[in-house]
Structure 1
Amino acid sequence: MKIAVDCRMLGMSGIGVYLENILYYWLETNKAHSFVLIGDEKKLSKLKFGENCNVVSCSSSVFSFGAMFSFPVKEVNNCDVFYSPTFGIPFGIKVPVYSTIHDVVFLDVKGLVGGLSLLVRKLFYCRAIYASKKIFTVSEFSKTRIKKHFNTNKEIVVAYNGIRHDLFEWKNKKRSSDLYKNYLLYVGNIKRYKGLDILLSAVKAMSDVKLIVVGKYDDMRTSDKELLNESSLNENKVVFVGQKSDEELYSLISDAEALIQPSRYEGFGIPPLEALFLHTKVIISDIPVFKEVYSKLPVIFFENGNSNDLQKKIEGISNEKSPDCIIPEIYSYKNTAAIILKNITIE
């Protein structure tokens, strides 16, 4: 089977990482199928692929109306199927379409985007659901939210996120960051729904604690910056380090006293999984998707939105052993890639 893949988000965080890992397992282990990879040639050249792959150059944005009509659909329509790792599906595609919708955070979290931006995203979601033969998502929680907002009868297949392939390689040559000692770690976007303000409130009430925050800060919206400024935290207590390379991030996670994910909303939530893989303690909010993904793993839950409860859990981690667990196979991108490929090629 000849599969066209939208690779325009390759190299980005989030969906870009998801796509990279799907492609890693597709291209490494599947010689029975051929692939047409559509995206930035320079980024695609970093992938390992053989004679069963062709690259079609396309640098347009995924979420723009212009790109919806300027995508190289001629090359796509010479394939058997088209797969997109997100919900930006171009017009003019005549072969069966399969797509992944990771979450509907823009619809579930009020005020995340403005009125016009929200309308545009709704149109993209609707387009993806209408055009797709099957939809993939990353949790049962996201599946229920998609069904609630769009009341669709389309088949929605859950294929969980997993441990990225290069983390397995890094773990075998693990090295210390040597930058910070005895610290808590937060990894993620600095948005209100990520719950960083809850963590900052907990840390503010504690003595002798250091928090390292990994994530974008410069391009934050004013309302998000004000949310953090209200905490008035001592710079010796909280350090914003911006974005880090993958290897730097792995070192920070591995050396941390605990990774804390205080999210109010997630579609899955990958950092706690990576922390467990690296035997780092994990404290997470008890939101539904975290209960779904992590309830059988050695994590510590705190009451969502309750900074006092989070403070208690942080103060108690010194008595907790570092987690020594085997991550279930369902949380591997090898499994994710296999589920998607099976559903695409089964017809």
Structure 2
Amino acid sequence: MKIVIDARFTRTDHHDGISRYGSSLIAATAKIADVTMLINDKRQLALLPDVPWVMVNSPLSPLELFVARKINPLGADVVVCPMQTMGSWGRQYSLILTLHDLIYYEHPAPPGFLPAPVRLLWRLYHKAFWPQRVLLNRAEVVATISRTTEALMAKYRLTRRPVRIVGNAPQPGQTPRNPADGADKSLLYMGSFMPYKNVETMIRGMAGLPDYTLHLLSRITSQRRAELEGLIPDGAKVEFHNGVTDDEYEELLLRATALISLSRAEGYGLPLVEAMALGTPVIASDIPIFREVGADAVSYVDPGSPADFAAAVAALDDEALWQQRSRRSVERAADFNWDESARQLLAAAEEAVALRKRNAPKRKITND
């Protein structure tokens, strides 16, 4: 089977969530299928696996409406896009579109890297569900990364197409820490600083954790940093890193007591899986998607309670409990791997091809 995977959402400097998902899925799927990827900037190749590629227009270009004209000659059985916005007019192949989550319906602030006109359209798009239905119903199969999102798609009747899980996963080849080595008195947060991420609660909770340092790892604007610095309790230790490399992130995870995520809503929670894969315990808000990802390996707290957060951290001062959480985290993370995601994608691709053949117009046979 010839599969074309859209890699045009790959970043050119460092991965974000969609970029890493697409790159990792391409690498794993190329082991079991004939894969070609689409790019729109050669700089993307630095963050992509070494597989055949074809240059086409940017997914944000008006030419996206006609991108199928460039893809049709590739002879793909199925084209897979890690987003739902790919142009499909005049396509001659089966199509799988991906909806990762519905987070932007609750919190419609668009990613800052998008051009201003696209950010405006983004907000308008997330005011109603019907545009999403129009996009998703163009595909033979719709992919998503979690049962939580699958259930929400059914609740809001977002598509008539079959929905299949193609899971997210941590990076392969990482070596978990030895629980017997213990941990530093450090807590890590990896994620944006949008209001729904609820970083305020963990900062306020540091009032009860004078022996710990909270490391905020992601890039942050000076304005948002000033807002959060104003919330730091007297005597609390909070460090802003304003971005770390993948190697620095892994090094910090291998020493930390726990990774923290107190989001009030979330699309998935990849940092949880990344931490668990290295044997770093996780403290997370008690929301459905985190329950799905973390199962019994995670300590769940009320996201509105700084005291609950501080108590969960303090509980990990018990060395036996910390080691138990560390070991269970590694076990849970092993349930997520890219080889399994590739098998899920291949099964969805075979289904998409079969559906397109089944639904193709029947040619009438006439006797002359």
Query: For this structure pair, what is the TM-score category when the shorter chain's length is used for normalisation?
Result: 0.7 to 0.9
Q: Compute the displacement of 1:229 (Å).
A: 4.5
Per-residue CA deviation, residues 310-346 of structure 1 (Å, 9 max, x unaligned), is 1111122101323113236541111111101111024
* Deviations, residues 57-96 of structure 1 (Å, cap 9, x unaligned): 1351x3x362523536333453221100112211423322
Measured after TM superposition, the shift of residue 151 of structure 1 is: 4.0
Deviation of 1:304 after TM superposition, in Å, equals 2.7
Q: Residue 327 in 1 paired to residue 324 in 2?
A: no
Greater shift in the superposed pair: 322-331 or 253-262: 322-331
5+ residue gaps, structure 2, are 112-118, 355-368
Match of 1:164?
A: 171
Q: CA deviation at 1:148?
A: 3.0
Find the residue that maps to 2:140 and give its secondary structure: strand
Q: Counterpart amino acid of 1:246?
A: D
The residue that corresponds to 1:254 in the other structure is 254
Aligned to 2:266: 266
Q: Figure out how many residues of one structure are paired with residues of the other and give that number.
A: 327
Distance in structure 2 (CA, Å) of the matches to 1:229 and 1:71: 46
Matched position secondary structure for 2:322: coil
Q: Name the structure 1 match of 2:79.
A: 82
Q: Tell me which structure has the larger Cα radius of gyration.
A: 2
User: 2:210 aligned with 1:213, yes or no?
Assistant: no
Q: Distance in 1 between matches of 2:187 and 2:346?
A: 38
Q: What residue number does 1:9 align with?
A: 9
Q: Secondary structure at the match of 1:295?
A: helix
Q: Residues 243 and 133 from structure 1, CA distance in 2 versus in 1: closer, same or farther, beyond 3 angstroms? A: same
Q: Output the amino acid matched with 1:187.
A: M
TM-score (norm 1): 0.84
Give the Cα separation in 1 of the matches to 2:166 and 2:334: 11
Once the two structures are TM-superposed, the CA of residue 299 in structure 1 deviates from its matched residue by: 1.7
The 1:73–1:194 alpha-carbon spacing in structure 2 relative to 1, beyond 3 Å, is: farther
- Measure, in 1, the Cα distance between the counterparts of 2:273 and 2:333: 10
Once the 2 structures are TM-superposed, how far is the Cα of residue 182 of structure 1 from its aligned partner?
Answer: 2.5
**Match status 1:187 vs 2:190:** yes
Q: 2:346 aligns with which of 337, 341, 347?
A: 341
CA contact (8 A) 1:8 1:38 kept: yes
- Taking structure 1 as reference, are residues 294 and 45 closer, same or farther at Cα in structure 2, changes over 3 Å only? closer
Is 2:199 the counterpart of 1:196? Answer: yes
SS of structure 1 residue aligned to 2:332? coil
Verify the 8 A CA contact 2:6 2:80 in the aligned structure 1. yes
Give the match's secondary structure for 2:272. helix
Between the aligned partners of 2:226 and 2:141, the Cα distance in structure 1 is 41
The whole-number CA distance in structure 2 between the counterparts of 1:79 and 1:106 is 32
Partner SS state of residue 80, structure 2 = strand
Structure 1, gaps ≥5 residues long:
none
Provide the TM-score with structure 2 as the length reference.
Answer: 0.79
Tell me which amino acid in the other structure corresponds to 1:302.
Answer: V
Residue type at the aligned position of 1:216: R
- CA shift in 2, pair 1:241/1:67, >3 Å: farther
Describe how 1:219-298 pairs up with structure 2 within 5 A.
228-233=228-233, 237-296=237-296, 298=297
Shift of 1:243: 1.9
| Mean CA deviation greater in 142-151 or 112-121 | 112-121
Q: In the alignment, what sits opposite 1:69?
A: 65
How far does the alpha carbon of each residue in 1:97-129 deviate from its partner, in whole angstroms, 9 at most, with x for none? 102211111112366788753223567634431
Q: Hey, what does 2:361 align to over in structure 1?
A: none
